[in-house]
Structure 1
Amino acid sequence: MKERVLELLAEKEGNYISGSEISRRLGISRTAVWKHINTLRQEGYQIDSQTNRGYLLIKSPDLLLPQEIKRGLASCRFGQEIIYLERVDSTNQKAKELAVQGREEGMVVIAEEQLEGRGSLGRSWSSPKGKGLWFSLILRPPISPLDTPKLTLVAAVALAKAVKRFAGIDLKIKWPNDLLYGKRKVAGILTELAAEFGQVDYVIVGIGINVNLTDSDYPEELKETAGSLKMITGKTYNRAELLRVILLELERAYFTYLNEGFAPIRSDWCTLAGTLQTRVRITDRNGSFEGIAEKLDEEGRLLVRLPDNTIRAVLAGEVNLLGER
């Protein structure tokens, strides 16, 4: 009900709404209205109240509260249920716990701060409080476990499209799970799954986006390689608004993949990629090698031409871009 009170305040767009109108439209008492208003104030909403005029929403907090995200959310499934945490070790870990409990596809776990955020190959991900989007999405796709790596590519396409649509910034996808601006990493994806007997139980898509971080927010070892949307444009972005766009693009890309197959995702990925036709060094658990990243195949593998002119298909690993071919 608190969320519905907020919706009515937001509807007025700078005008007052009386307590009696809120009471009538929501079917609650004036005392209940007052209690919900006070709760919203405690959460950081600036709400003015005037005798004979009612309540006026002056400013919303820069917090990723469920009611802020859902206000104007266009996705039908993704983000309809949101778990909000001020601080957590890892949103992926929390999402896995909820998935095991049977929570539905589309649930989002989001935190203002991660203490043990992780990227690819177990590396830590810097996730300072209130500066980025650190969230995880529960999926239950009816696909083979062998096809789940494609979901990382699906998410990368959705993120690149969302950032372009929201901020006008062209991020490039670095296979398989990073988004770059120039040589700086702005976003990353960590996909984890649980499966048995050849069937997927759940997939967790963890996403970290550096939104409003500045150079001073990064540890010394990341200052030359990490970036943010704010560092690119100098603008401060509303994180809840950006998340709404991302959830919609994720939902569109995910169901495009499920309904039409990987081909349309692969086409978009190739258009948005910054990896193809460049010299790369691939590092996996068996070592490293260099070559030319030529294309993405129908299985989502990166095809790399080696110095001896043979082609090697890479399903997992870390890519370092070495420059033009």
Structure 2
Amino acid sequence: MSKLDPNDIKKYLKTKDIGSEIVYFETLDSTNNYAKEIAKKSPHGLVIIANEQTGGRGRLGRSWFTSKGKNISMTIILKPDIHPTEAMKMTQIAIAAMVVAVRELTGLHTLVKWPNDLLIENKKIAGILTEMVANANKIDYLIIGMGINVNTKIFPKEIEDMASSLALFKGADIDRQKLIIKILEEFEKLYLDYIKKGDLDKSLDIVRKYSAILDKDIYIIKGQDRYKARAVDIDHSGVLKVKHIDGREELLHSGEVSIRGKATYI
């Protein structure tokens, strides 16, 4: 099992703020939960990494499976000077950084399932959970949680048809430290581009290019309702535009829906 050494990560990390401070745990219930405890007094860009996460969760309260010493569980604390309505853009920046890092480091055909998942051959490899504390006009802090199935070989029966790992597709273990460094470097590049220009164009170009759902028919689940539509575009703010069978267009915000195909995870 490959070890994680926060000092090594900091040594080789070429960033200004993201990862300038790293808090490392061998075991932690949730990097996002811990981030909430320390965020107010922590600097922008602090990263929390756990070698094992025992209580991880994804969007909509779903649990997130992880194996000790096999995967990546980390959270970035951000304190951007942006309006709270802009917060969901951070998810698109994070997923863009993640897909670039994974593809460049592994060569695997990795795709983005809007708004926050990575897939390989319709199996979930990674996910992002963005959470925020804010008042009406100002963000106190944002936390970007990232979970990646890196070297896990065996999954629980209930998720083995929907989830997989980079190592299973690659046929060899992946260096977790190199992947962490690459993700953090790509994230800072895209984050600074957004802060400088005020738009998501660079991140959205990546998300669209590697989208698993654009120009495809998808199934949208809202509560007990399930209906079919075509994924048309991801707009300038990171919102998914879909077209219904009757020709009507709808904008879907990331917190509202789950998207699943007929027989696979998508």
- In which range does the TM-score fall when normalised by the shorter chain? over 0.9
1:313 match: 251
Q: Say whether 1:160 aligns with 2:102.
A: no
Aligned to 2:175: 238
**What is the CA–CA distance in structure 1 between the aligned matches of 2:34 and 2:214, rounded to whole Å?**
35
Map 1:289-304 onto structure 2 (within 5 A): 289-304=227-242
Please give the secondary structure, in 1, of the residue aligned with 2:151.
coil
Correspondences of 1:12-161 after superposition (within 5 Å): 62-100=2-40, 102-161=41-100
Question: Which structure 1 segments of 5+ residues have no match?
Answer: 1-60
Q: CA offset at residue 62 of structure 1?
A: 2.6
1:273 pairs with 2:215: no
CA contact (8 A) 1:163 1:170 kept: no
Q: In structure 2, the residue corresponding to 1:221 is in which secondary structure?
A: coil
Q: Is the 8 A contact 1:116 1:125 kept in 2?
A: yes
Partner of 1:227: 164
RMSD: 1.4
Q: From the CA coordinates, give the structure whose radius of gyration is larger.
A: 1
Q: When you count helix as a share of all residues, which structure comes out higher?
A: 1
Question: SS of the residue aligned with 2:12?
Answer: coil
Q: Name 2:200's counterpart in structure 1.
A: 262
Identity of aligned residues (%): 36
**1:186 and 1:226 in contact (8 A); partners too:** yes
Seen in structure 2, the aligned counterparts of structure 1 residues 319 and 233 have a Cα distance that, compared at 3 Å, is: same
* Distance in structure 2 (CA, Å) of the matches to 1:319 and 1:72: 38
Letter of the structure 1 residue corresponding to residue 92 of structure 2: L
How much does 1:202 deviate? 0.5
Change (3 A) 1:199 1:294: same
1:192 aligns with 2:119: no
Q: Which has the higher contact order (CA 8 A, sep 6+)?
A: 2
Give the secondary structure class of the aligned counterpart of 2:132.
Answer: strand
| Alignment TM-score, normalising by the size of structure 2 | 0.94
TM-score normalised over the length of structure 1: 0.77
For the 8 Å contact 1:150–1:299, the answer to whether it is kept is yes
**Range moving further from structure 2, 262-271 or 124-133:** 262-271
Q: How many pairs were matched up?
A: 260
Contact 2:190 2:202 in 1 (8 A): no
Partner of 2:187: 250
Instruction: Please state whether the residue corresponding to 1:292 is helix, strand or coil.
Output: strand
The alpha carbon displacement at 1:318 in A equals 1.4
**In the alignment, which of 284, 301, 320 is matched to residue 222 of structure 2?**
284
Quote the offset at 1:227 in angstroms. Answer: 1.0
